[in-house]
Structure 1
């Protein structure tokens, strides 16, 4: 059964509009994917995400010096822990169907991220004013999937500025905001579009699984600038 599930990963509906998705990604470096994973795969990931959070979650509250002291108030599970504790998520990360989809959308060579802590991780905002402050990622492509959402009015929206590396442009009319409902995913060029997750307005949950992929230019960058502070 495990092999059967892992061989049918991406929801067929995701692939129906791949030309338009690619055009949007070319334009703003971001696409929303309402139901990227098949229901059986999503449900299995959700069980593992919850189990990993229950056992291994670490609370972080600091300013990231490397990004102009933008704040991090967030609970995380490191990719190193996931690698040790979840064979399903680690196998899913390497799944050829996912990598093929990202390759087609980005028109770029996709490589596994060498930094294991950053390769696959869990991020959870759950307290009022929790935030993942403005930054650029070390590796270009992130596939984010939501397992708990604060809803439209709860805060925790993604804010990003397409093709900008200037933190000061966040919060301006150049920025785009979007939010995730449970079951939704997005793909983003996170090293070339400055972005952040806005503060929660109440004690609500925003839980996501992060898959990060390198390209040929970053495949030998051994560690992300943010790994130690976010995950250790």
Structure 2
């Protein structure tokens, strides 16, 4: 399975970009065939396994989660492709070279290796949050046109303090960057210090994404409770 394209990669430029902006587009560095395979697999799994969530997360100032989710467990039970992609040595090496760090797949027991998120109904949103682990790789399987919402907003280099109500402080005190990704785009995020959300969709459209978490050595030494993941994905 060929994962990466043959395009030359300027790792130092990508590293500088993600350090400054928190998010980088990696679409061109993946083969078109793997992106098409992932799209079909993700949409099929989402359609068959999605669970509705309408909750507010106390950890981030009660920001909303009005969305559908598919858990890591359901993906493992439904797919060989997604686990193989996530565990690929080529993918791991790419992300290590971009970050200049030794990053690795997160523990399977965390439930955060890979999950699927979906917005379908008007006002559905994946509200403001930071992730537990340092990095996230996100593949967009379905996305509405920009005028219908469902795009990424991000505030890089913000402080994530669990159980502290500081999400809205970060929102009010910083510039919000907007990132517009199309279907079969894939982006990489410094997700533990980039406050981010997917904006509400304003009509009945479909936005479906696969989110994959990646850990630093420091992450693996932390005692993470994964409570937000348990609430959102029912694990």
| TM-score, with structure 1 as normaliser | 0.90
Please say if residues 122 and 202 of structure 2, whose CA atoms lie closer than 8 Å, have aligned partners that are also in contact. yes
Secondary structure, counterpart of 1:60 in structure 2: strand
CA distance, structure 2, for counterparts of residue 53 and residue 123 of structure 1:
8
Partner of residue 163, structure 2 = none
Q: CA RMSD in A?
A: 1.7
- Report the alpha carbon displacement of residue 19 of structure 1 after superposing the two structures with TM: 2.9
CA deviation map 1:119-159 (0-9, x unaligned): 10111111111111111110111101111111221111211
CA distance, structure 2, for counterparts of residue 99 and residue 89 of structure 1:
14
- Report the alpha carbon displacement of residue 209 of structure 1 after superposing the two structures with TM: 0.9
Runs of 4+ that moved beyond 6 A: none
Q: 1:98 aligns with which of 62, 83, 91?
A: 91
CA deviation map 1:174-193 (0-9, x unaligned): 11111210111110011011
Please say if residues 131 and 200 of structure 1, whose CA atoms lie closer than 8 Å, have aligned partners that are also in contact. yes
- Report the alpha carbon displacement of residue 28 of structure 1 after superposing the two structures with TM: 1.9
Cα 1:171–1:86, aligned 2, differ >3 Å: closer, same or farther? farther
| TM-score, with structure 2 as normaliser | 0.89
- Report the alpha carbon displacement of residue 49 of structure 1 after superposing the two structures with TM: 1.1
Alignment pair present for 1:160 and 2:185? no
Q: 1:122 aligns with which of 116, 119, 123?
A: 116
Listed as ranges, the gaps of 5+ residues in structure 2 are 160-165
| Structure 1, 175-184 or 17-26: larger mean CA deviation | 17-26
Partner of residue 68, structure 1 = 61
CA distance, structure 2, for counterparts of residue 110 and residue 149 of structure 1:
29
CA deviation map 1:208-231 (0-9, x unaligned): 111111111112546523111111
Q: 1:143 aligns with which of 137, 148, 163?
A: 137
| Structure 1, 179-188 or 214-223: larger mean CA deviation | 214-223
Partner of residue 175, structure 1 = 176
Give the paired residue count: 225
